[in-house]
Structure 1
Amino acid sequence: MVETLDVKDIFDNNDNEIVLIDVRSEKEYLDDHAINSINMPILTDKERHEVGYTYKNDSKEEAVRKGIGYATYKIIDYYDEIDRLCSEGKKVVFYCFRGGMRSNSIANTMDTLNKKVYILKGGYKEYRKYVMDFIQEIPNKYKFIMLHGLTGVGKTHLLEKLKEAGEEIIDLEYLARNKGSVFGKIGYDKPTTQKLFESELVYELSKLKGNNVYIESESRRIGNVNIPDKLFETMKIGRHFLIETSLENRIKIILDDYIPKDSAKLEQFNDSLKVILNNLKKLLSTEKVNILSEYINTYNYKKFVEELLVDYYDPLYKNSIKKYEYNAIINYKKQDDAVSELMSEKY
């Protein structure tokens, strides 16, 4: 009989020898999954739809038969993958939505073929509960140091340098696949989902000790995801540092972050800018948008960024910056100097 493993035993211990195999469909996996799990659907999206249709319009028995037929031709792929993982000393754990028929059928098949495998008790549903319970405990486990500043001040770069220096950080914009502004989705192929954002957040937090975690100040919504309430509340009661640098520095940072290095991608990049820019007509006026569009057409990105910062971003965010009292204001010329000052002010 195949053993089951409890979700807390797997995720609380961060056991690197455990490999999770998600046998749900591709669509289910893309919506959310245990981080670093492997997706090997026992039924593809199309097959799952057909089995469901048969169940609804024919009978449960016929739906099961159809499902078995679809699953059978995949057994050799499962066997080869399990054989490879087991030879590497890995502990393989299968899961489906509830730890039911899908994970049990393939796990029991591997067991009869003398492959030692396990099933995640309660499946994805129990994993999702674990994620939500973890988020509820954030105020009891973590203390945050928030970096504030105007657009382009380099907060994300400072987080990266702090991490290189051995400090603990959470990069919310990376997890959200959005740089946290109206142009924030540029540079990311696909948006994430709320559930996957929360899964990745919990995965990253679980690796930290949590005493002083650097994090960028964000609005409650980043792109198409929301920061969980418990995290947002805990961030607000943390320590706060205002980062400042020259307008020239900010323009350079934005140009380095956004402008494609491959000149062949510039036209597509320009088109993306114009689409987003057109949505700002009510805020900037049609005349201003036309001026900015002309900068894009002539590849004058420096002027485009400068005027967008001065006329749009800075007025928009200056009021929100005034909401906090700061432990220190750090005005830098070189990012390494800002990092050193942040670390010296940590306690």
Structure 2
Amino acid sequence: MARKTKRKKSENMQTTKNFKNIVINNTPLIDVRAEVEFNKGAFLNAVNIPIMDNLERHVIGIEYKQHGNDSAVELGHELVSGQLRETRICKWVDFINNNPTAIIYCFRGGQRSKIAQSWIEKRLGRQIERLEGGYKAFRHYLMENLQPQYAPQHIMILGGYTGTGKTKLLAEFSATVDLEKLANHRGSSFGRHIDPQPSQINFENNLAYAMIQNKYKNYKYMLLEDEGRHIGTNFIPTDLAAHFANGKLIILQEDIETRVNITHSEYVIEAQKEYCDALDPDIGLYEWAKYIMSSIDRLKKRLGGLATQNLINSFNAAFSKQLIFGQTDMHKDWIKMLLIDYYDPMYKYQLKNTSKKIIFMGNTNEVRNFLKGEL
């Protein structure tokens, strides 16, 4: 039987659609959608404290389809009541007490966030803001800002051979949008981190945040690393990638020994630590080795069988020596082979065919000084 009772709607509840300020100020957000919705896509600075869990949402969805909105709302109040309701209110209030400017939202800024807002305000004795239009409206705003006409228009791109230290140099400049950090990937065939990459939706949301913040800080240029459209499993939207390709290109140059040392530090020392910190140290080391081996194997089509086997042999020798003596320097042998035989020819080809205008070439200090002068 359909539930007939109607509940009185709350009046004079505060809402906001000042999405720009939310991004610029990194405003804390409370997402009251179910966990399954949050996992499909969410925003930076958002915490998921659902008003309904996945099962409750599913049951109420069935009620809505069978008996309509009023009946579904009434069922929701019945399911989320008593101690369960009290627990959820306490979680929201605790977060707001620690983050007084927090804003609450659901998918469309509708009933779920309104109900949660009314419960919170009754408990706090003051008003809080609700995101007008909810997740859907804010997501639309962020995607709009990934369109080239709304993106920062003046772009500098730092390129260079693998191992020149582009990412670390760009980190010195606040005007940088770190695409690899946003994608949680080093941007190469060996670039996966042990933690998973964000979903494509979250990557886009986070990229939009970074670009909006860059735009309204009024930097002369937005600085990017020279990436392909794909960064691991994440990808830059087509029109935005084309916009980036119109940027001015700076080439960072370093000798092969410097590049080997930088690559060794990042892909061996830092990567092994990452694996060992996340897993048991012994297991972590072997998982890292398995990943490197699988990455080498994926290059077979481009490198050819003989070169791939030489890389594997060199890696196995280095890893065996590390296990016996605890040293990692022998890894530099296969790294040097990888740079010379795989990455360098690929980048030479890309550089030869680039449409970007090269405005400067130099080593780390020279490029650093050039960027300081330009910014």
1:314 equivalent in alignment to 2:344: yes
The answer for unaligned runs of 5 or more in structure 2 is 1-10, 320-329
Residue 23 of structure 1 aligns with which residue? 32
Aligned pair in 2 of structure 1 residues 214, 48: CA closer, same or farther (>3 Å)?
A: same
Deviation of the 1:303 alpha carbon: 1.6
Deviation of the 1:148 alpha carbon: 1.0
Alpha carbons 1:170, 1:215 under 8 Å: kept? yes
Give 2:178's match in structure 1, choosing from 171, 174, 179.
171
Distance 1:193 1:17 in 2: 20
Residue 285 of structure 2 aligns with which residue? 266
Of 129-138 and 9-18, the range deviating more from structure 2: 9-18
Give 1:136's match in structure 2, choosing from 125, 147, 151.
147
Alpha carbons 1:95, 1:120 under 8 Å: kept? yes
The DSSP-based 3-state class of the residue aligned with 2:145 is helix
Aligned pair in 2 of structure 1 residues 284, 20: CA closer, same or farther (>3 Å)?
A: same
Residue 192 of structure 1 aligns with which residue? 198
The answer for unaligned runs of 5 or more in structure 1 is none
% identity of equivalent residues: 28
Deviation of the 1:128 alpha carbon: 0.9
The DSSP-based 3-state class of the residue aligned with 2:171 is helix
Aligned pair in 2 of structure 1 residues 221, 183: CA closer, same or farther (>3 Å)?
A: same
Question: Any residues of structure 2 matched to 1:34-183 within 5 Å, and which?
Answer: 34-52=43-61, 59-60=67-68, 64=73, 67-72=76-81, 73-84=83-94, 87=97, 90-113=100-123, 114-136=125-147, 138=149, 141-161=152-172, 163=173, 167-183=174-190
Alpha carbons 2:14, 2:127 under 8 Å: kept? no
The DSSP-based 3-state class of the residue aligned with 1:257 is helix
Deviation of the 1:18 alpha carbon: 4.5
Cα deviations by residue, 1:10-64 (Å, 9 ceiling, x for unpaired): 43365749532101122322332221012101222344344445656x6557755
Deviation of the 1:2 alpha carbon: 4.9
The DSSP-based 3-state class of the residue aligned with 1:146 is strand
Instruction: Provide TM-score, normalisation by structure 1.
Output: 0.86
1:247 equivalent in alignment to 2:256: yes
Distance 1:91 1:12 in 2: 12
Give the AA of the match of 1:180: G
Residue 367 of structure 2 aligns with which residue? 338
Cα deviations by residue, 1:142-184 (Å, 9 ceiling, x for unpaired): 31111111111211011112x2xxx411111111111111222
Distance 1:182 1:35 in 2: 27
**RMSD value, Cα:** 2.7
Residue 284 of structure 1 aligns with which residue? 303
Give the AA of the match of 1:308: L
Count of equivalent residues:
336
Distance 1:168 1:3 in 2: 38
The DSSP-based 3-state class of the residue aligned with 2:80 is helix
Of 73-82 and 90-99, the range deviating more from structure 2: 73-82
Aligned pair in 2 of structure 1 residues 82, 314: CA closer, same or farther (>3 Å)?
A: same
Instruction: Provide TM-score, normalisation by structure 2.
Output: 0.80
Give the AA of the match of 2:164: V
The DSSP-based 3-state class of the residue aligned with 2:107 is coil
Deviation of the 1:266 alpha carbon: 1.7
Give the AA of the match of 2:367: A
Aligned pair in 2 of structure 1 residues 17, 205: CA closer, same or farther (>3 Å)?
A: closer
